[in-house]
Amino acid sequence: MKRTILTASLASFLLTGTAMADTTLKLTEVITSPSRTETLKEIVAQFEKANPGTKVEITSLPWGEAFEKFATMVSAGETPDVMEMPDTWVALYANNGALENLEPYLAKWSGTADLNERALEFGRQVDGKTAYMLPYGFYLGAMFYNKKLFAEAGVEGPPKTIAEFQAASEKVSKLPGKYGYCLRGARGGLNDWTVFMNAIAGNNTFFKDDGTSTFADPDKVKGLAWYIDYYKKGLAPKDSISWGFNETVAGFYSGTCAMLNQDPDALIAISERMKPEDYGVVPLPKGEAGKAFPVIGYAGWSMFQASEHKDLAWKLIETLEGTEGNVAWNKKTGALPALKSAEKDPFYAGDKFKGWFDELKDANTVPTSLPSYLEEFAFFKDSLVPASSQRALLGEITPEEMAKEWADYLTTAQQKFLANKN
């Protein structure tokens, strides 16, 4: 009898132990490419090796459809344990109570001291004190330029001002089948609209003290109108009205357009297809006020509150965000690293990242964060802006009408934010 009880107890223990050990974590990535996904799998394999019995199931959503697809997943209750979180989505899911507060984990993690100030600042951007995501790196726009096209068109060097940018564009566009700039008219194009609008306006304010959006102010409308006119003059490819990230990068390395405003992640594809001596990266051109306002964005890792394995989920984030994982990941994503120690890696030495580091050193180049703390911003950036800006580029609505549509939407969102904050 005792033998039977002992055998049953042992069997029960073994079954329980197996159930505890065989754990599946769900990880969703949303800014995808084959090389990024392969690198993610390699980092995850290290995590699985260090945590026997734990498997990570990776879901890769194509960026162009990620916002809608992930929203559908959440609505269906299919939330992951850990997610690659874009800066523009954090407020939406944090304010809906979907994301886990990472502060208790950060307080105990030895790697927290290695995070640079920007990482913690942006990770807490929703309310200024609670980290709902942990940035893995930063995306800062700078100007790629094609040296061969410039020489062929008689352009002496990269433009330092908006006026020089337009002049260079006009010269290049006289070449058969060539254009000045790789315009991004589809999703993600808000960065370009913002960069040129702010440079021409001479300031990077988005709101007045009462929460009213500045998008409809005359100086901002002037910048938006200039960009629309640039497209209508044929200085950007006609089909660029529907271009996203991949199309603009391909437009540059194929030699279709001479200039491109992009983050370091564009280096991955460009450096594989162009010789180093055929292109350069310099700070974005300045407006008449002598200032440039490149958009700085970021992405990172978030944990969902619904996770049933939060300790393991945090261990996965530790692996992804630790020095080895963070450096390996950012070498593939092209982001500027979020860790102090990663900046010392030889990969970031030399001239390869000089354009971006020059921007960070220039007092008249002001990295500008979009108002992604607004819960409504994800829809604004990924749905409203592409639809209305394409209509403006086609001449279906005026710059003033587009600006008013943007301003009305953001004013409502900002005033709601201010009311809830008070």
Look at residue 343 in the predicted model and tell me its pLDDT. 74
- Cβ(181)–Cβ(155) below 8 Å: no
Flag the least confident range among 247-256, 290-299, 320-329, 333-342: 333-342
pLDDT of residue 364: 95
From CA 307, how far away is CA 26, in angstroms rounded?
9
pLDDT grade for 17, boundaries at 50, 70 and 90: very low
The alpha carbon of 51 is separated from its chain's Cα centroid by a whole number of angstroms, namely: 30
Cα dist from 214 to 182, 370, 373, 410, whole Å: 26, 13, 17, 9
d(CA 146, CA 180): 10
Could you tell me which residues come within 8 angstroms of residue 41 by beta carbon, excluding any fewer than 6 positions away?
A: 58
Phi-psi region of 213 (alpha: psi -120 to 50; beta: other; left: phi over 0): beta
**Is residue 265 within 8 Å of 172, Cβ to Cβ?**
no
Strand, coil or helix: 383: helix
Strand 23-29 with 82-86, pairing: parallel
Distance, CA of 8 to CA of 16 (rounded, Å): 12
Across the range 197-204, mean pLDDT stands at: 98
What is the distance, to the nearest Å, from the Cα of residue 367 to the centroid of all Cα atoms in its chain?
14
pLDDT at 195 over 70: yes
Classify strands 296-303 and 134-140 as parallel, antiparallel or unpaired: antiparallel
Bigger pLDDT: 375 vs 20: 375
Cβ neighbour number for residue 78 with a 10 Å cutoff = 13
pLDDT in tens, 343-386: 778 888 778 888 998 887 888 999 999 998 899 999 999 999 99
Mean pLDDT of 142-148: 98
pLDDT number for residue 159: 98
Mean pLDDT of all residues in 181-188? 96
DSSP states along 278-324: GEEEEPPPB-TTS-B--BEEEEEEEEBTT-S-HHHHHHHHHHHHSHH
Reported confidence tier of residue 3, pLDDT bands at 50, 70, 90: very low
pLDDT band at 53, cuts 50/70/90? Answer: very high
Q: What is the CATH number of domain 18-139+297-348?
A: 3.40.190.10
Domain 142-293+374-421 CATH assignment equals 3.30.365.10: no
Task: Extract the tokens encoding 281.
Answer: 């990266």
Contact 285, 159 (CB under 8 A): yes
Tell me the CA distances in angstroms from 178 to 152, 174, 317, one per residue in order.
Answer: 11, 7, 45
d(CA 7, CA 198): 74
- Spatial separation of the C-alpha atoms in residues 165 and 168, rounded to whole Å: 5
Of 315, 330, 372, 309, residue with least CA distance to 121: 372
In 3-state terms, the chain is what percent helix, strand and coil (to 5)?
55, 15, 30
| pLDDT of 15 above 60 | no
Are 18-139+297-348 and 142-293+374-421 the same fold in CATH? yes
Which 8-state DSSP code applies to residue 178?
Answer: -
Contact present, 88 and 300 (Cβ < 8 Å): no
Scanning 109-183, the segments in alpha helix (DSSP H) are 117-123, 147-153, 162-172
Dist CA 213 CA 33 (whole Å): 35
What are the residue boundaries of the structural domains of the chain, listed by start?
18-139+297-348, 142-293+374-421
- The tens digit of pLDDT for each residue in 268-297 reads 899 999 999 999 999 999 999 999 999 998
Instruction: Select from 128, 260, 255, 258 the least CA-distant residue to 184.
Output: 260
pLDDT exceeds 60 at position 85 = yes
Helix or strand run (H / E) with residue 361: helix 354-361
